[in-house]
Chain A
């Protein structure tokens, strides 16, 4: 069995979760919580903690077993297989939605005439090459690309703060309607954070499992939360709440507030590097999807399934979905995500406990 280090586990989790939702989320929070949007960004991660824990506890119950295998042991061969199949489909759809949105952004901001299908195809092809090699190369790439992602976030946040356009009155009135609206907004946005369920795929590969919790906490709270909350705070301070809810990709609009001599289009620079975050998400989701599918169908290796998955994903991502419809789909997909990050893992955990499958003895 391939294995990954705790640091690779951490890097994989972070780059899987950071994608386009990260640059979109401040708007959804501001719509629901107004000036307390930044608080709801923190609330998202408070609510995500039990969600992550459910997945981690489930994975720890079967430390050296893949999800498709233990889901069959818990729910029976048919239902367990079907569940793995569903996960594969969920990640394929997620990938497609991410790629469609990426195509939209690239067309609006960067390449007006270049067919976005081509951009998506290249990303998928490189992703396919990497995913074919197994989780090891993906993990090593994730470690390097995570640095790129962190650097671009730090770079853009520093520049925005240094540019001096932040108005901290944007955070007032503070809790105008009490703590409920930001909490509600945070709860609603839990589904917007995708990629948490990939933990179920990654865990069995982890070499020193005792460090799983530490790596997960470092990924979710130490990195993803810091980036998401940081971007939410600075975006709100720079754009103001009323303008924030009128922007489609607030973090990209934030980059357009900064002007540096010889680097006037900071949004393009940001997007170029943020493509890294999109790429890593696609690779990990592609691998996860193939891994689940192989388990569900009883294949020995995931490799043969990568190409068909790539074709399906490419066709789905080539769908001519208008920007407005994509937004609605994205919101609806948040509920689907909750099924795969909360409901199914919770159900598996419950049934496994009731039936005495897995656990300390294993």
Chain B
């Protein structure tokens, strides 16, 4: 009995005492929900010895934007591609980290509603910026101003500003991967402009930017205008060939538009795909989940037919043809007519022509995107290299993928089914 009691006391004391050093009350934590990362000119820093003299500011140097082709020269590991140096902000620049801190006291009630716990008048979030040579330094700096310990366990969004993304993502991502707090479900996007501006947006229906952006990303199946990447999927892509597509967010005063995609190659942002281009890219990636496609009415002038996509699949077959790589891409789409603004009667012939029209447009769009990526960026963000590596590792090893990708040819075949036309004939 005494022994059992001793064991119980020992176990209980361990449960209570072990975490004392790390005990942080909830109200002492600053819950960071969104992080925006930008690049700014390096500030004057205090010298190590306090001589009362400020250090000389380093001479300004124009941020060089290396040519896109050079970007795609790095790579992963199991594939035999050479490793990538991790680009950082460089000496003349530093990171400006803008964070959205949630105010749990003001979070009661419905989103956008009255709020509870005395939160009706208090703002639900606090957005502030700090700078540092590295992300972790900047986040540590936050504690000097928030009076609370930064906590990243609930981080939902990572937004990287255009300049920082062009400089290199390696230095940005490393902190998040190494951190013991950040989960891999945090979403990642690039801002067309400054990430800080995205965090300044005042959404009408949501009280937190993080929730607003998360809900916007959830509309993926309705729009198919962007590519959703969380930290885990981003890492998966980048570890292979340092290339991927990520959602682009454009900030306005009261809204942020998530549409289009940032082209990441060689771990840097090298350009963008527009909204329709992103849709075509998603199709090749096998990630198109829905959305609409508008085509001119078959055999009519002026009218339009809106095709609502239900499902899309694609098959890619790589092969070596004489002196170059060739990819056969077969796309199968299934959907319905969502809108028609022409007098043509809806009958099997009409639906077949709609299908042909959609197929022709998709083929055009896909061909255009492939050409653009090959010619302008030389960037395999559509993971065709990965497809080749998985399907034919022997061929993959024989060739220099980065040389072959821009020369590769494509054969696009699109089959479109129009299965329904709604409640009106």
Chain A residues within 8 Å of B, Cβ to Cβ: 30, 34-35, 108-115, 118-119, 122, 125-126, 129, 165, 167, 169, 172-173, 176-177, 238-243, 245-246, 253, 256-259, 264-267
Q: How far is the CA of A119 from the CA of B17 in the complex (A)?
A: 10
Task: Specify which chain B residues have a CB less than 8 angstroms from the CB of A241 in the assembled complex.
Answer: 78
Interface assignment of B218: CB less than 8 Å from any CB of chain A:
no
Taking a contact as CB atoms under 8 Å apart, the answer to whether A245 and B77 are in contact is: yes
Taking a contact as CB atoms under 8 Å apart, the answer to whether B389 and A173 are in contact is: yes
If A257-B185, A264-B153 are given as contacts, then 6 extra A-B residue pairs at C-beta distance below 8 Å, sorted by A number, are A111-B18, A165-B232, A173-B393, A239-B236, A257-B183, A257-B232
Interface assignment of B240: CB less than 8 Å from any CB of chain A:
yes
Task: Specify which chain B residues have a CB less than 8 angstroms from the CB of A253 in the assembled complex.
Answer: 184
Q: List the A residue with the shortest CB-CB distance to B383.
A: A169
Q: List the A residue with the shortest CB-CB distance to B14.
A: A122
Identify the interface centre among A165, A239, A243, A266: most chain B CB within 10 Å of its CB.
Answer: A243
Q: Which of A30, A176, A246 contacts B393 (CB 8 A)?
A: A176
Q: How far is the CA of A113 from the CA of B240 in the complex (A)?
A: 36
B157 to chain A, nearest CB (A): 13
Q: Which of B14, B18, B20, B183 contacts A259 (CB 8 A)?
A: B183
Count of B interface residues, CB-CB < 8 Å: 38
Q: Fill in one digit per residue for B232-266: 1 if any A CB lies within 8 Å of its CB, else 0.
A: 11011001100000000000000000000000000
B175 to chain A, nearest CB (A): 14
Taking a contact as CB atoms under 8 Å apart, the answer to whether A112 and B232 are in contact is: no
Q: How far is the CA of A245 from the CA of B235 in the complex (A)?
A: 12
Q: How far is the CA of A240 from the CA of B7 in the complex (A)?
A: 44
Taking a contact as CB atoms under 8 Å apart, the answer to whether A126 and B236 are in contact is: no
B392 to chain A, nearest CB (A): 8
Q: How far is the CA of A133 from the CA of B423 in the complex (A)?
A: 77
B208 to chain A, nearest CB (A): 15
Task: Specify which chain A residues have a CB less than 8 angstroms from the CB of B183 in the assembled complex.
Answer: 256-257, 259, 264-267
Taking a contact as CB atoms under 8 Å apart, the answer to whether A265 and B19 are in contact is: no
Q: How far is the CA of A240 from the CA of B21 in the complex (A)?
A: 36
Q: How far is the CA of A169 from the CA of B315 in the complex (A)?
A: 13
Taking a contact as CB atoms under 8 Å apart, the answer to whether A112 and B185 are in contact is: no
Taking a contact as CB atoms under 8 Å apart, the answer to whether B78 and A35 are in contact is: yes
Q: Fill in one digit per residue for B372-392: 1 if any A CB lies within 8 Å of its CB, else 0.
A: 000000000000001001111
Known interface pairs A239-B232, A245-B78, A259-B185; A126-B19 also in contact (CB < 8 Å): no
Taking a contact as CB atoms under 8 Å apart, the answer to whether B239 and A126 are in contact is: no
Interface assignment of B6: CB less than 8 Å from any CB of chain A:
yes
Q: List the B residue with the shortest CB-CB distance to A247.
A: B177
Q: Which of A34, A112, A129, A264 contacts B180 (CB 8 A)?
A: A112
CB<8 Å pairs between A and B, sample of 21: A108-B180, A110-B22, A122-B10, A125-B10, A126-B10, A126-B14, A165-B232, A169-B390, A172-B390, A172-B391, A173-B390, A240-B239, A242-B76, A242-B78, A242-B236, A242-B239, A242-B240, A246-B235, A256-B232, A257-B183, A257-B232
Q: How far is the CA of A113 from the CA of B7 in the complex (A)?
A: 26
Q: List the A residue with the shortest CB-CB distance to B392.
A: A173
Name the interface residues of B164-202: CB closer than 8 Å to any CB of A: 177, 180-185
Task: Specify which chain A residues have a CB less than 8 angstroms from the CB of B76 in the assembled complex.
Answer: 242
Task: Specify which chain A residues have a CB less than 8 angstroms from the CB of B177 in the assembled complex.
Answer: 246
Taking a contact as CB atoms under 8 Å apart, the answer to whether A111 and B19 are in contact is: yes
Taking a contact as CB atoms under 8 Å apart, the answer to whether A114 and B10 are in contact is: no
B231 to chain A, nearest CB (A): 9
Task: Specify which chain A residues have a CB less than 8 angstroms from the CB of B361 in the assembled complex.
Answer: none
Q: List the A residue with the shortest CB-CB distance to B178.
A: A108
Taking a contact as CB atoms under 8 Å apart, the answer to whether B185 and A126 are in contact is: no
Q: Which of B10, B19, B181 contacts A129 (CB 8 A)?
A: B10
Name the interface residues of B392-416: CB closer than 8 Å to any CB of A: 392-394
Q: Which of A112, A129, A165, A167 contacts B22 (CB 8 A)?
A: A112
Q: Which of B7, B181, B235 contacts A243 (CB 8 A)?
A: B235
Task: Specify which chain B residues have a CB less than 8 angstroms from the CB of A177 in the assembled complex.
Answer: 393
Q: Fill in one digit per residue for B1-38: 1 if any A CB lies within 8 Å of its CB, else 0.
A: 00100110011001001111110000000000000000
Taking a contact as CB atoms under 8 Å apart, the answer to whether A258 and B185 are in contact is: yes
B301 to chain A, nearest CB (A): 45
Taking a contact as CB atoms under 8 Å apart, the answer to whether B185 and A256 are in contact is: yes
Interface assignment of B134: CB less than 8 Å from any CB of chain A:
no
Q: How far is the CA of A109 from the CA of B181 in the complex (A)?
A: 7
A134 to chain B, nearest CB (A): 13
Name the interface residues of B54-112: CB closer than 8 Å to any CB of A: 76-79
Interface assignment of B353: CB less than 8 Å from any CB of chain A:
no
Taking a contact as CB atoms under 8 Å apart, the answer to whether A238 and B78 are in contact is: no
Name the interface residues of B302-357: CB closer than 8 Å to any CB of A: none
Taking a contact as CB atoms under 8 Å apart, the answer to whether B7 and A238 are in contact is: no
Task: Specify which chain B residues have a CB less than 8 angstroms from the CB of A258 in the assembled complex.
Answer: 185
Q: List the A residue with the shortest CB-CB distance to B234.
A: A243
B209 to chain A, nearest CB (A): 18
Q: List the B residue with the shortest CB-CB distance to A253.
A: B184
Q: How far is the CA of A241 from the CA of B235 in the complex (A)?
A: 11
A34 to chain B, nearest CB (A): 5
Interface assignment of B371: CB less than 8 Å from any CB of chain A:
no
Interface assignment of B154: CB less than 8 Å from any CB of chain A:
yes
The 3 tightest CB contacts between A and B, nearest first, are A242-B239, A172-B390, A114-B21
A58 to chain B, nearest CB (A): 35
A114 to chain B, nearest CB (A): 4
Task: Specify which chain A residues have a CB less than 8 angstroms from the CB of B180 in the assembled complex.
Answer: 108-110, 112
Known interface pairs A35-B78, A242-B77, A256-B183; A119-B240 also in contact (CB < 8 Å): no
Task: Specify which chain A residues have a CB less than 8 angstroms from the CB of B77 in the assembled complex.
Answer: 242, 245
Known interface pairs A114-B18, A172-B391; A126-B11 also in contact (CB < 8 Å): yes
Taking a contact as CB atoms under 8 Å apart, the answer to whether B236 and A243 are in contact is: yes
Task: Specify which chain A residues have a CB less than 8 angstroms from the CB of B154 in the assembled complex.
Answer: 264
Task: Specify which chain A residues have a CB less than 8 angstroms from the CB of B79 in the assembled complex.
Answer: 242
Q: How far is the CA of A338 from the CA of B11 in the complex (A)?
A: 35
B240 to chain A, nearest CB (A): 5
Q: How far is the CA of A8 from the CA of B169 in the complex (A)?
A: 52
A267 to chain B, nearest CB (A): 8
Q: How far is the CA of A258 from the CA of B185 in the complex (A)?
A: 7
Known interface pairs A113-B22, A241-B78, A264-B183; A129-B6 also in contact (CB < 8 Å): yes
